[in-house]
Amino acid sequence: MTWTLTEMELQALMLSLRASVLAVLVSLPPALFFGWLLARRRFPGHDLLNAALHLPLVLPPVVTGYLLLLLLGRNGWIGGPLERLFDLRIAFSTTAVVIACAVVSFPLMLRAIRQSAEAADTRLETAARSLGASELRILLTVTLPLLSPGILTGMTLAFARAVGEFGATITLAANIPGLTQTLPLALFSVTQVPGADAAAARLCVLSLLLAGGALVTAEVIARRLNWEPQT
């Protein structure tokens, strides 16, 4: 058995990496905002918002993908107007892969950031405010450093989840080699082909290395920064 990747496998690997990194970057701003909001503020609908933001964590990924398809498909509430007005098609594209990965991995990042915000000592922010620091300066020099354990751990966990995303991706983006076929989708494809055991083994090992490496990295980050995500 050779461990040299074929062109299709290499394309799937690179797409998975690009989509996962982009998904993490896209998810970070809203995760920071909602993580801080849910941790520091109580308001009507707080629990409902929290449940809605965590839904992708508990819903079957295919259901999440189908809901995204209803929203972003050619006849969707957002996808339809975008295609008619701007000739912009989201479903069954590389963009759809990033969106699916971002939505499914978002709750993991949100949860880590929220727990970090809840554990942070707000007296440091109060002290900085009493010394006349602006809110922007407090955010950049006090709040974000306080949240850094949750931010880094959440980003790493979200990356690991995005790399392994399958159900929402195949529903929203389909399984098109070279365009939307990620590592899990490529593995699914080769398992349907008789005699493709070597390719399946290569892709399985790659998936294990990427996901396992990300989880180990998250654990190291949490320990180095003396913060453990709660379950």
**What is the per-residue pLDDT across 24-48, written as a single tens digit (0 to 9) for each?**
999 999 999 999 999 999 999 999 9
Contact by Cβ (8 Å): 28, 113: no
Binned at pLDDT 50, 70 and 90, residue 68 comes out as very high
**61 to each of 35, 96, 181, how far by Cα in Å?**
22, 14, 16
Binned at pLDDT 50, 70 and 90, residue 131 comes out as confident
pLDDT at residue 163 is higher than 60: yes
pLDDT at residue 3 is higher than 80: no
CA 156 remoteness from chain centre: 9
**Of 198 and 166, more confident:** 166
The Cα 69–Cα 171 span in angstroms is 7
Please name the helix (run of DSSP H) or strand (run of DSSP E) that holds residue 119, with its range, or none: helix 94-119
pLDDT at residue 8 is higher than 60: yes
Contact by Cβ (8 Å): 100, 65: yes
The Cα 63–Cα 85 span in angstroms is 28
**62 to each of 53, 79, 144, 165, how far by Cα in Å?**
17, 19, 34, 10
Over residues 83-104, the mean pLDDT reads: 94
**Of 160 and 226, more confident:** 160
Binned at pLDDT 50, 70 and 90, residue 225 comes out as low
Over residues 64-91, the mean pLDDT reads: 92
Average pLDDT, the chain: 89
pLDDT at residue 70 is higher than 70: yes
pLDDT at residue 230 is higher than 60: no
Unique residue bearing structure tokens 């080769």? 190
CATH top-level class of 7-224: mainly alpha
pLDDT at 91: 93
pTM above 0.85, yes or no: yes
pLDDT at 231: 42
Over residues 56-82, the mean pLDDT reads: 93
Please name which of 90, 96, 99 lies closest in space to residue 173, comparing C-alpha atoms: 96
Q: Where are the domains of the chain?
A: 7-224
The Cα 171–Cα 24 span in angstroms is 20
